[in-house]
Amino acid sequence: MRSPLRPRLLAPLLLLPLIAGCFASGGGEASGSGDGGSGGARLRVALAFPPAENLSPYGADATLLSRLGVTEGLTALDANGAAAPALAESWRRENDRTWTFSLREATFQDGSDVTPAAVADSLTRAGAAEPAPAALAGVTLTAEAAGDRVVRVTTAEPDPVLPLRLSSPSLAVLSAKAYGKDGRVDPVGTATGPFELTKVNGAASASLDRFDDYWGGRAQAAGVDARFIADGTARANALRTGELDIAEAVPVAQAATLDKDTRRDTATTRTTSLLLNASSGPFKDAGLRAAARAALDTSVFAKDVYEGHADPGAGIYGPAVSWAEGKRKAPVGRAEAKRPGGASITLATYDNRPELPEVAQVVKDQLEKAGFTVKLTVREYSRLESDALDGKFDAFVLARNTLLDTGDPVGILAADYTCDGGYAIAQLCDKDVDKAVAEAEKTADTEKRRDAAMAAEARILGSDAVVPLVHQRIITGVAASVQGVVLDPYERTLVGTGTRR
């Protein structure tokens, strides 16, 4: 039986299509000029997901911190999905298991210097976290100071994508003051990004001030007043009435109510899928999983539920991963579909992403039409995650960023669909899948790694533990007075140094 694991809403490709801009914390849609004067206005931002783990950097909350410009790691992802400099100016591979990273001059928000020893300590603590961050799933690393501005990172096994892995929001570098004796990690005033977290009001809101000593330049906004608003309609209404400057994940149903110049439609690497519990309940039977997959007409989701703000489900990787379609293989090893015979299943999803309950309702209707008996459960994500990861649902509708965790296309396959995966809602444990993923993990050449990833995808799709439904575009609400919002296809960054009003 799997032990409880925390979620990481994300992982992906070595290269994506060229998209203008860089998505490190200092990047922006339009950086503008000047430093915002002596103060600059504060930004009022609404995020869809409240903190689920007391803003621990090791789980889902890591993305909240990176999107608000609080944290960063040794590397970032550039517009092509390749590793780009962040706290590390450069790096080189010494041998198949060892890399050295040269640090830039930078300061933590508590005033201490970003030193090789501090970076090594931060990475060591992340590696020892329980459960481990998704970016380190299956990876054992050691980090040590190796000179005045150099950190040496060694992995137990060869890791050809380590620079990509270290771009993960869950591997943010924090100062020594962040780490308490009780194992808690406190990002308040201990990170390195352009905005310093100063106050957290539970799951309701947070306050951030500009960090004037940020290595990437002084942010143009004086700070950020963040609110966590799970209800998508409420986020859109607050933007429309002038209470907010930026609202992430505006519901498709609300998009038409916003002025055209206040909404941004961004292609992302997020796929919404139906996950079927392959280890217990009715869907332990591969024939019933095949029946569920065959019952679904996935064409209706992009057209009707997402009203054209999405593309029909094609695989684990969607059209934002430009190379995937040309390499996609037919599913391997599918079982013959059985008659459902009224099999009773529990289907769950969450309402932080407002389209998901409607997607789940359509799934429910289609499965019932095919002969299943379906009970639908909808909750806020934070109230659902532990049950989902414990395998307490038979089916789960999930929106998952396929490139979030590591930037490596193999990352999501290992995290979500292997026996030891850290985000295994589908509870799949298949020796052929594990073998295919392991083969992809050890492949260093970019093109060959992509080929291996697609071969593993074919095995996973053949298990019918996952049915891709739709590939999403994200609608961001941006007040007309705001410039420089970071429209990041990887969904790691939202507010940068150039974001201002």
At residue 24, the pLDDT reads 53
What's the Rg (C-alpha) of the chain?
A: 22
Q: What would you measure as the largest C-alpha separation in the chain, in angstroms?
A: 70
More confident residue, 296 or 132: 296
Domain assignment of residue 252, yes or no? no
Task: Give pLDDT tens digits for 408-421.
Answer: 889 899 999 999 99
Domain assignment of residue 197, yes or no? yes
β-pair partners for 93: 99
Tokens of 2: 């799997």
Does residue 212 sit in the same domain as residue 325?
A: no
- 35 has pLDDT over 50: no
For residue 198, give the CATH number of its domain. 3.40.190.10
More confident residue, 303 or 489: 303
β-pair partners for 398: 273
Spatial neighbors of 273 by CB under 8 A, at least 6 apart, are: 313, 316, 397, 398, 400, 466, 467, 468, 469
pLDDT tier for residue 1 given thresholds of 50, 70 and 90: very low
At residue 8, the pLDDT reads 35
Are the CB atoms for 464 and 335 separated by under 8 Å?
yes
Domain assignment of residue 190, yes or no? yes
Does residue 215 sit in the same domain as residue 304?
A: no
Domain assignment of residue 26, yes or no? no
Does residue 191 sit in the same domain as residue 312?
A: no
Percentage of the chain beyond pLDDT 70 is: 92
Domain assignment of residue 449, yes or no? yes
At residue 7, the pLDDT reads 36
At residue 408, the pLDDT reads 87
Strands 205-210 and 195-201: antiparallel
Neighbours of 439 (CB within 10 A): 15
Domain assignment of residue 285, yes or no? yes
The rounded distance, in Å, linking the Cα atoms of 7 and 30 is: 32
Q: Walk across the sheet containing 150-155 and list its strands.
A: 88-95, 98-103, 150-155, 141-145
Does residue 190 sit in the same domain as residue 273?
A: no
Does residue 198 sit in the same domain as residue 145?
A: yes
Does residue 225 sit in the same domain as residue 311?
A: no
Strands (E), 244-316: 246-247, 263-276, 310-312
Does residue 296 sit in the same domain as residue 200?
A: no
Pick from 13-27, 170-184, 418-432: least confident = 13-27
Tokens of 147: 């000179």
Domain assignment of residue 188, yes or no? yes
- 31 has pLDDT over 60: no
The rounded distance, in Å, linking the Cα atoms of 226 and 187 is: 15
Of the residues 213, 229, 245, which one is the last residue of a structural domain?
229
Domain assignment of residue 419, yes or no? yes
> How many folded domains does the chain comprise?
2
The backbone torsions φ and ψ at residue 476, rounded to the nearest 5 degrees and listed phi first, read -110, 130
The rounded distance, in Å, linking the Cα atoms of 278 and 220 is: 50
Does residue 202 sit in the same domain as residue 300?
A: no
54-70 average pLDDT score: 93
Of the residues 182, 200, 229, which one is the last residue of a structural domain?
229
At residue 134, the pLDDT reads 84
pLDDT tier for residue 404 given thresholds of 50, 70 and 90: low
Task: Give pLDDT tens digits for 143-194.
Answer: 999 999 999 999 999 998 999 999 999 999 999 999 988 888 999 999 999 9
For residue 289, give the CATH number of its domain. 3.10.105.10
Spatial neighbors of 73 by CB under 8 A, at least 6 apart, are: 86, 87, 166, 167, 168, 169, 171, 172, 173
- 38 has pLDDT over 60: no
Spatial neighbors of 335 by CB under 8 A, at least 6 apart, are: 286, 287, 289, 290, 464
Strands (E), 367-465: 373-379, 395-401
Does residue 88 sit in the same domain as residue 199?
A: yes
The rounded distance, in Å, linking the Cα atoms of 174 and 119 is: 8
Are the CB atoms for 86 and 73 separated by under 8 Å?
yes
Task: Give pLDDT tens digits for 360-369.
Answer: 999 999 999 9
448-467 average pLDDT score: 96
282: preceding bond cis by omega (within 30 degrees):
no
Are the CB atoms for 406 and 167 separated by under 8 Å?
yes
Spatial neighbors of 424 by CB under 8 A, at least 6 apart, are: 2, 5, 389, 415, 416, 417, 418
Q: How far, in Å, are 403, 405, 424, 442 from residue 452 at the CA level?
A: 16, 19, 21, 10
Does residue 337 sit in the same domain as residue 206?
A: no
Q: How far, in Å, are 32, 101, 122, 262, 461 from residue 151 at the CA level?
A: 34, 5, 12, 44, 40
- 27 has pLDDT over 80: no
Angle at CA 129, nearest 5°, toward 91 and 389? 115
Task: Give pLDDT tens digits for 207-238.
Answer: 999 999 999 999 999 999 999 999 999 999 99
Q: Which helix (H) or strand (E) holds 233?
A: helix 232-240
More confident residue, 286 or 382: 286
The rounded distance, in Å, linking the Cα atoms of 443 and 160 is: 8
At residue 211, the pLDDT reads 98
The rounded distance, in Å, linking the Cα atoms of 466 and 112 is: 46
Helix, strand, coil percentages (3-state) for the chain, rounded to 5, are 25, 25, 50
For residue 442, what are the domain limits?
268-473
Does residue 316 sit in the same domain as residue 195?
A: no
Does residue 225 sit in the same domain as residue 272?
A: no
pLDDT tier for residue 46 given thresholds of 50, 70 and 90: very high
Spatial neighbors of 48 by CB under 8 A, at least 6 apart, are: 228, 229, 230, 232, 235, 248, 249, 352, 353
User: What's the pTM?
Assistant: 0.76
- 30 has pLDDT over 70: no
Of the residues 229, 253, 288, which one is the last residue of a structural domain?
229
